[in-house]
Structure 1
């Protein structure tokens, strides 16, 4: 095994890991970086390839959905006895879990649909070339790093989970209205910051609430369920998003987001969710 790491991955040897586990973690980081790089290359390039092949928006959505389904088919091969539907339903039936999970899914779903179709929107609506679309995706990624690294941590130390949950849903509503009125790339650049803020905040807050709502032995399983939301969005999102975009245009994403999050905000006002007023730890 030592010779393998020295020959195949020489740049990892300089770290002089103290155990095999350290080396496995390092290789995992490398694999994750390569995987994400290829994923975003696929997201950025595939729409231009689809357009050159003559596919319309709905057909492109079908293509993306098929790709997502093929990804999900690997699930039963790895750990099917652990991540079973029965186990998932058991956790979701615990007190306070189902409603928070639904808020997590529903609040970000319209934005997820928009982001799934953004590459097509950047071509047809904004009229951007592939490299310009790549710059916008990079800008969005930088905003995520800034918000998660500099903003969320400070807010969680000063405000309770309920306050931040309601704030993120309210910001999502404002983002929805802004998306409905958006007409240019400049408008999108302005909208991107509150969009990223709401996405990051509601993701962190709901994960925190859900992991504290289950027994410590089920924390890992609950985190796994939470992390399954983005892949599911990538699976069904392109088909739904393609239909909305072709039938109603870009503004439909904004109106759907506005309506969904206003309903969620009113629900949060009426109900004490979560039951305990705590800060994120």
Structure 2
């Protein structure tokens, strides 16, 4: 038993190392994107189309990737995600025209490193520890965000966008090699599921749409996903336009933008890895979900009235707490309402929500920023999340 626990702990440790390196590469290429697109002559609207293209491609791949992980195991899922990341970054570095930059988004259809890591951690954690275990992934992701944002800014400033993209591609390939050497082929428990959970179907097809949609019929699944979509839309709008806001509104250079993203990464690392996991031990997940939505609402109002980057840095503290609490509680709830054999597919549907938001938010964000200015993002977040919070209170009252 002790040897088994040591092996499981080692696998989880490697998964966290993978997550940190994946995040590093992701944030390097994220830093490359706005400056490369600007050098190629893209305006704000075209940049929004590029972000939308990326999100739609990931939207299409998310559910299939989840089914792939359920059927072929954690090692195959992680390897596929990291190789997709490497190919995406490589093509980005080779992009010398706008069409080539759009083409570089195609391999990202399976670039779901966080989803793959969540599959492995979900398989290896008990339900009582699920939220905390998923939160610790945020700790590793935050480390990568800090390193990637800072490194990306320095690489872009000193060596150019293409060199930074090649570094991210090399890191992604290294990640895939580590997975093949140290992650076991299958991490799901062999034991049967709980009686109060729906039976999993036995189809072995990755492209079986009925198997994916079947999960939506599970009680509370559709409701949680709908809440996640509505609440996440205003945040997605702001996040999709943040690189443009940093350049045009805050007037930050690439290196300073990297430092700001590193600061946000530290906050995310602390909130997801430490604070929210501790809160879930004392507060019920659904109660924490409600208060997270209310805090997101109030943060939106504060965002609408802020005027400089220093104020934004202060607002980022409650913002990180609210967003971390919201995403961790919803992720935990969704993985608990399905049997272990379907957690990958459910995480795939969960990732679809993120991709759907990212597919529409750049267009909405570009329109709002051009027509109504930066403050419109905050007012939108305030109004929508206030309605969601009132809906949840109404459901509890009934």
1:40 aligns with 2:164: no
CA deviation vs aligned residue, 1:58-88 (integer Å, no higher than 9, x gap) = 1110122223344556669865733643223
Q: Does 1:50 align with 2:37?
A: yes
8 A Cα contact 1:62 1:239, kept in partner? yes
2:64, 2:391 → 1: CA distance?
39
Aligned to 1:10: none
Of 134-143 and 36-45, more deviation after overlay is shown by 36-45
Which of residues 283, 292, 310 in structure 2 aligns to 1:159?
Answer: 283
Q: 234, 240, 253: which one pairs with 2:358?
A: 234
Corresponding residue pairs, total: 254
Question: For 2:208 and 2:319, how far apart are their aligned partners in 1?
Answer: 33
Deviates most, 196-205 or 39-48: 39-48
The corresponding residue for 2:309 is: 185
What SS does structure 1 have at the residue aligned with 2:329?
helix
Return the alpha-carbon distance in structure 1 between the equivalents of residues 377 and 63 of structure 2.
33
**CA 1:217 to 1:74, structure 2 compared with 1: closer, same or farther past 3 Å?**
closer
Distance (whole Å) between structure 2 residues aligned to residue 265 and residue 77 of structure 1: 32
| Residue 65 (str. 1) matches residue 52 (str. 2) | yes
What does the per-residue CA deviation read over 1:189-245, in whole Å, with 9 as the maximum and x for residues that have no partner? Answer: 011111111111111111222223334443332223223333333333322222221
Of 342, 345, 354, the residue aligned with 1:221 is: 345
Report the secondary structure of 2:264's partner residue.
helix
Which among 371, 381, 388 is matched to residue 257 of structure 1? 381
TM-score normalised according to structure 2 size: 0.57
What RMSD over aligned residues (CA atoms) do the two structures have, in Å?
2.8
Residue aligned with 1:228, SS: helix
Query: Is the partner of 2:357 in helix, strand or coil?
Result: helix
1:40 deviation in Å?
1.3
Structure 1 residues 112, 72: CA separation in 2 closer, same or farther (over 3 Å shift)?
closer
Contact 1:43 1:119 in 2 (8 A): no
Change (3 A) 1:146 1:77: closer
Task: Return the offset for 1:43.
Answer: 1.7
Among 194, 199, 203, the residue aligned to 2:327: 203
Output the TM-score relative to the length of structure 1: 0.79
Is 1:140 matched up with 2:127?
no
Residue 344 of structure 2 aligns to a residue in which SS? helix
Residues 215 and 67 (structure 1 numbering): CA distance in 2 closer, same or farther, change over 3 Å?
closer
Q: Is the 8 A contact 1:113 1:253 kept in 2?
A: yes
CA distance in 1, matches of 2:63, 2:391: 36
8 Å contact from structure 1 (residues 57, 245) kept in 2: no
CA change 1:185–1:162 in 2 (3 A) is: same
Query: Residue in 1 aligned with 2:239?
Result: 115
State how far apart, in whole Å, the 2-side matches of 1:76 and 1:201 are. Answer: 24
Q: Which residue number corresponds to residue 85 of structure 2?
A: none
Residue aligned with 1:95, SS: coil
Matches within 5 A, 1:86-105: 86-105=210-229
Structure 1: runs of 5+ lacking an equivalent = 1-17, 276-281
Counterpart Cα distance in 2 of 1:150 and 1:140: 15
Structure 2 unaligned spans of 5+ = 1-5, 69-204
Question: What is the rounded CA distance, in whole Å, between the counterparts of 2:308 and 2:373 in structure 1?
Answer: 14
Structure 1 residues 67 and 159: alpha-carbon distance in aligned structure 2, compared to 1, 3 A threshold:
closer
Assess if the C-alpha contact under 8 Å between 1:173 and 1:262 holds in 2.
Answer: yes
